[in-house]
Amino acid sequence: MKVPRAPGKWVDDLDASMPVTEAAERVLSVRLDGICTMLPLARDGDGDHPRVIHQLRVSTRRYEAALMVFRPCLREKKYRRMRKHVRRIRRAAGGARLCDVHAGIFAGEVDRAEQHEQEALQYVLQRILDERGEAQEDVDKVTRRYRGSRLSRKHRRLIKGLSSPGPDDVPPSSPQAETTLHDLARIELGRLVDRTESAGRDDLSIVTNLHELRIKIKRLRYGMELFASCFGPSFRQEVYPRVEALQERLGDINDTSEIIDQLNRYADELAEGRKPALRALRQVEDHEITQMISQLESLRSRFERHQADHVKTFRAWFGEFGLDELLGDLRRLLSPDASPDPGAEPGPSGRNGSAGGATSLASSSARAGEKKDDP
């Protein structure tokens, strides 16, 4: 069975001069299509599960990012309700996705591990597979809850409440002008840039701070996807890939952190005699339990060493990355003084799809190829 793909990251038929309410309806509808395409396929036994679950989770994240960006245009009560529905789907898909990622990692570990680690790795893999079955039950619940057109109906009620934001929330380019997508881009991307800058100034030798930076970078990336049509080609072709590369690097560290937490939990559950922990053992004897806890702790120590190496490598790479330079380029594009670029490529609607592209991106361009060398 060929699995359909959710709509891509970019939204067609948008441009900088489009009224913000028209853009909100277009963006939210496209993002909803991604969820509605993948949700029926996520039921137990349907499709290529790891890919379906991954695309469903990403689709919910992109919809939620669009909700947050266009919040000034939405009625607060409807915004909160819709976000609650989408978050419910995202969390169900997230639990299954985490199991899929970890199952792939530990299946590879089993294939290449030395003999003394085989038993612990097999145990961990069995635990993950057991938890994947439980996670699928949560996915099945949300597919039943939002089957048919239920989610679409909730979305339509949300869209009916769209209105242009007040000048205090999103100041238009001139007092008499209608608020445009570019007006919103300057405000919302500006906020995301500020939050990313703040996270980047924290002590990045601390793993929890790296996690916070990853979250801020991810939100900036999703915001950039929504507003790419407001800027020249360099925004999409040069700046965005750098943000994406940074998120991927931080994602590798986060994967290792989650595995360490998982190994800690498995060892604790064995020590407490939890049924799921004991069920995955071949023999439930005291010495078997003690031996497995010791092996899990040894495995955890190995991943902690890997994490320390990853953080060290990341910090060396990040020192050359130039986050301040990247965010400075974005700020110049978002400046009220930045004028539309007459040479920008027109969007699919035929209107000029750029604003602010006149600002030089030479500093970002010099680093644009770095992602090719990422491991």
pLDDT at 304 over 80: yes
- Per-residue pLDDT tens digits for 41-92: 998 665 458 999 999 999 999 999 999 999 999 999 999 999 999 999 999 9
Average pLDDT, the chain: 87
* Non-local CB neighbours of 305 within 8 Å, separated by 6+ positions: none
- Helix (H/G/I), strand (E/B), else coil: 272: coil
Report the DSSP beta bridge partners of residue 19: 180
pLDDT value of position 358: 32
pLDDT value of position 1: 56
- Which tokens is 17 given? 């001069």
Distances (CA, A) of 201 to 17, 40, 324: 35, 42, 10
pLDDT at 110 over 70: yes
Residue 218 neighbours by CB distance under 10 Å:
19
pLDDT value of position 9: 93
Residue 371 neighbours by CB distance under 10 Å:
14
Confidence of residue 345 (pLDDT cuts 50, 70, 90): very low
What is the rounded distance in angstroms from the CA atom of residue 303 to the CA atom of residue 297?
A: 10
pLDDT value of position 363: 34
**Cα-based angle 157, 159, 164 (whole degrees, multiple of 5):** 135
- Per-residue pLDDT tens digits for 249-287: 999 999 999 999 999 999 999 999 999 999 998 777 778
Q: Which helix (H) or strand (E) holds 353?
A: none
pLDDT mean over 111-129: 91
pLDDT at 123 over 60: yes
pLDDT at 320 over 50: yes
pLDDT value of position 371: 35
Confidence of residue 370 (pLDDT cuts 50, 70, 90): very low
pLDDT value of position 2: 67
In the chain, the percentage of residues whose pLDDT exceeds 70 is 87
What is the rounded distance in angstroms from the CA atom of residue 307 to the CA atom of residue 329?
A: 31
- Per-residue pLDDT tens digits for 161-188: 899 998 888 887 766 678 999 999 999 9
What is the rounded distance in angstroms from the CA atom of residue 71 to the CA atom of residue 284?
A: 54
* Dihedral Cα 46, 48, 50, 56, nearest 10 deg: -60
Task: Give all domains of the chain, ordered by start, each with its CATH number.
Answer: 14-114+131-162 (1.20.120), 180-368 (no CATH)
Largest distance between two CA atoms of the chain: 78
Residue 5 backbone class (left: φ over 0; alpha: ψ -120 to 50; beta: rest): beta
Report the DSSP beta bridge partners of residue 346: 352
pLDDT mean over 97-113: 93
- Per-residue pLDDT tens digits for 13-49: 999 999 999 999 999 999 999 999 999 999 866 545 8
Q: Exposed, middle or buried: residue 108 (CB in 10 Å: 0-12, 13-18, 19+)? A: exposed
What b/e readout covers 51-71, taking b as 16+ CB neighbours within 10 angstroms? ebbbbbbbbbbbbbbbbbbbb
**DSSP 8-class letter at 113:** -
Confidence of residue 346 (pLDDT cuts 50, 70, 90): very low
Pair 161, 74: CB distance under 8 Å: yes
Proportion of the chain in helix, strand, coil states, percent, rounded to 5: 70, 0, 25
* Dihedral Cα 89, 94, 99, 100, nearest 10 deg: 90
pLDDT at 301 over 90: yes
pLDDT value of position 45: 60
Distances (CA, A) of 134 to 38, 128, 141: 20, 10, 11
Give which of 140, 106, 96 is closest to 126, Cα–Cα: 106
pLDDT value of position 354: 36
Total-model pTM: 0.85
Pair 346, 353: CB distance under 8 Å: yes
Of residues 48 and 228, more confidence is placed in: 228
